[in-house]
């Protein structure tokens, strides 16, 4: 089975000779996580990063009143806390939103990559920077759009990200999130998530059954979302 990280980087730029092998060399041990398991705990000093080989995971901050704010959602192939390589200490915990398979990559090995593979280093850097672009898109969605627009934006984003890794089926995808979890993602109450979801359904934009979402009207959905996919950097470019 191919390393999904390689697939992800190859979508953004062509790997140079040797880079693929270097990546394969550092991804060794892998293990599984149960649903709800906390893979990485806030404020710990880290000497390895986590690569998500399969499943959905989230970066979450918990507030004093018990509210949980999810600040990022990750899918297969994402280097969930690559930023901890330079940060050393992360400001959130990482939790499995489904059962997951993950691999740990030693920071020592990443350091060796920065010493020997400058182009590959730039591509890893790019991964963390795309995470930042997604953060900004979420900020603009939360601050500037209606709740319906925000939810529509999230659906559009997840569809393109899942499509990029071949996890869509026509206009459908599996999004294994409950409405309370969506509330934690969007910063809304689960009641309001339900209301807004009804709206998207009655506008015939999407169908959401169990955990399978079908997009009935992509143009309409992107219009209510004001969705512009460029921030996902889904095209090749020399980096």
Q: Does 220 bind DNA (CB under 7 A)?
A: no
Q: Toward DNA, which CB reaches closer, 7 or 194?
A: 194
Q: Are 133 and 231 a contacting pair, CB within 8 Å?
A: yes
Q: Which of 174, 164, 171 is nearest to 214 (CA)?
A: 171
- Residue from 18, 132, 169, 191 binding a second copy (CB under 8 A): 132
Among 187, 190, 217, 218, the residue binding a second copy under the rule CB under 8 A is: 187
* Complex with DNA: residue 209 or 230, whichever CB lies closer: 209
- 115 vs 210, beta carbon nearer a second copy: 115
Output 173 or 177, the one with its CB closest to a second copy: 177
| Residue 201: CB minimum distance to DNA, A | 8
Helix (H, G, I), strand (E, B) or coil at 180: helix
Binding to a second copy (CB under 8 A) within 15-74 occurs at 43, 59, 61, 63-64, 67-69, 71-72
Nearer to DNA, 82 or 151 (CB): 151
CA angle 177, 207, 73 (to 5 degrees): 25
Q: Smallest Cα–Cα separation from 175: which of 153, 155, 152?
A: 155
Q: Which of 27, 140, 160, 165 binds a second copy (CB under 8 A)?
A: 140
Closest by CA position to 39, among listed 88, 99, 86, 85: 99
Q: Which of residues 128-157 bind DNA (CB under 7 A)?
A: 146-148
> Binding of DNA at residue 197 (CB under 7 A)?
yes
Exposed/middle/buried for residue 183 (C-beta within 10 Å: 0-12, 13-18, 19+): buried
Q: Which residue matches tokens 């015939």?
A: 204
């Amino acid at each position: 089975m191919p390393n999904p990280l390689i697939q992800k980087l190859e979508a953004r730029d062509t790997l140079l000779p040797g880079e693929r092998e270097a990546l394969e060399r550092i991804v060794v041990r892998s293990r599984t996580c149960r649903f709800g398991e906390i893979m990485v705990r806030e404020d710990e000093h880290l000497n390895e990063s986590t690569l998500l080989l399969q499943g959905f995971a989230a970066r979450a901050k918990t507030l004093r009143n018990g509210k949980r704010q999810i600040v990022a959602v990750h899918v297969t192939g994402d280097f969930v806390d690559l930023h901890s390589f330079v940060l050393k200490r992360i400001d959130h915990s990482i939790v499995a939103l489904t059962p997951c398979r993950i691999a740990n990559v030693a920071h020592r090995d990443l350091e060796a990559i920065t010493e020997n593979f400058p182009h590959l280093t730039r591509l890893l850097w790019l991964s963390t920077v795309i995470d930042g672009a997604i953060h900004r898109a979420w900020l603009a969605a939360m601050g500037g759009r209606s709740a319906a627009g925000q939810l529509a934006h999230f659906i559009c984003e997840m569809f393109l990200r899942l499509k990029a890794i071949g996890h869509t089926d026509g206009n459908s995808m599996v999004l294994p999130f409950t409405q309370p979890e969506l509330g934690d993602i969007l910063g809304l109450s689960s009641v309001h998530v339900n209301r807004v979801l009804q709206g998207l359904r009655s506008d015939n934009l999407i169908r959401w059954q169990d955990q399978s979402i079908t997009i009935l009207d992509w143009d309409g959905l992107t219009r209510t979302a004001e969705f512009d996919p460029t921030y996902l950097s889904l095209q090749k470019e020399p980096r």
